[in-house]
Amino acid sequence: MSAKRGREFWVDFFKRFERSSISLADFAESEGVAYKTARNWSSKLNKDKDQGQGHKKQGQGQGAGQAKGESKAKPAKDGDWIEKESPPAPGKPASPAGGEEQGEKQWNKGWANLIPAEKGNQRALKHGAYAGALPPDIEQELNTYGREDIRSLEDEIRLTKGRLMMVTRKSAEWDARNEYNEITSDDYDLTEVTEKTSPMGRETSEKRVKPDFEAQEDRLTRRLAWLQQVHDQLSRRIGLTADEAVKLRGRILQQSEDEGWSSIDTGWEIEKHGLELPFTLQQKIRAELALIEPPEPEGGMTDEELDALSEEYEKEVAGEDAWLEERHSEVADIHAAKEAEKKGV
């Protein structure tokens, strides 16, 4: 029978959890603690912390107002500073002496905490698409790639490649564990929590689904292709000044007019040089694409083959008349024979 753990244990437990980089379920398992119990204590501690912050701010506002005659302080809103102990993120500088509290406040109000996560919390490490950290082996493999990318896109392309590799690995691990029946409920994404009260007490039900690895791979693949396309265009454009780009675009347009190119071919030639298409040319391309007829299916017949089939069909139709007359006479003979049999009986 396990010993009963008090509030101090759970406060220390969550301090150590915030310094880790794994999910709550994995950390609870490593500490020998039930995941459901840890989750309930997490909700309770967060609720107590929010209530304490609200009472503290209201009390300070009332005291200052009574002393100086000012109005009462307003309750805390959604965007006020939230004091929270958390380890510095990768790349975050340490807070200076005397400014640790302010540094924590600034970090907790950063964009990473204000922007809502995607559906299914797909930015979590357990789902393979963590915001910035990459496993050491993937980091080492990415370092073997060339460094010829444009500096403005190099880090983003590299990070997207790493995320795609992580999601692919997570998907393969999930399928392998599923094949050997090693999947647990924590391996599924939590999408809904429902609580209801019954005569037996409060019951909590959870709805979990398989992580959508395919959607993550498709999204990252499309993003990587787009980044690579922009990189290629910038690579060709990087050596051209604005005046040189205008002159090159003008030469291409003049050449297309002299040689009778279509708008699509003209746009293709301009894009090959990494230049932006003029607005008028874009409209012409749209109109030209709208008028393109679908290609005819292959396997058609020539006129000679159609004439031969027509003659063969006419011969068959001409022979059908004689065959019908012969068939009618045969049917009449059959009916006459049956009538004769009936009368003979």
pLDDT one-digit tens code per residue, 122-150? 555 554 554 455 667 777 776 665 444 45
Q: Which residues fall within 8 angstroms of residue 306, CB to CB, at 6 or more apart?
A: none
pLDDT at residue 335 greater than cutoff 50: yes
pLDDT at residue 100 greater than cutoff 80: no
- Whole-model pTM: value is 0.31
pLDDT at residue 107 greater than cutoff 60: no
How far is it, in rounded angstroms, from Cα 154 to Cα 165? 17
How far is it, in rounded angstroms, from Cα 134 to Cα 125? 9
Q: Which residues fall within 8 angstroms of residue 228, CB to CB, at 6 or more apart?
A: 157
Confidence (pLDDT) at 266? 92
Check if the beta carbon of residue 235 is closer than 8 Å to that of residue 146. Answer: no
| Arithmetic mean of pLDDT, 238-250 | 79
Confidence (pLDDT) at 221? 92
Check if the beta carbon of residue 285 is closer than 8 Å to that of residue 264. Answer: yes
Q: What is the DSSP string of 239-259?
A: T--HHHHHHHHHHHHHHHHHH
Confidence (pLDDT) at 192? 82
Locus of tokens 């880090």: 155
- C-alpha dist (Å) from residue 297 to 129, 289, 291, 300, 301: 45, 19, 18, 8, 11
Confidence (pLDDT) at 65? 45
pLDDT one-digit tens code per residue, 246-264? 888 899 999 999 999 999 9
How far is it, in rounded angstroms, from Cα 63 to Cα 57? 10
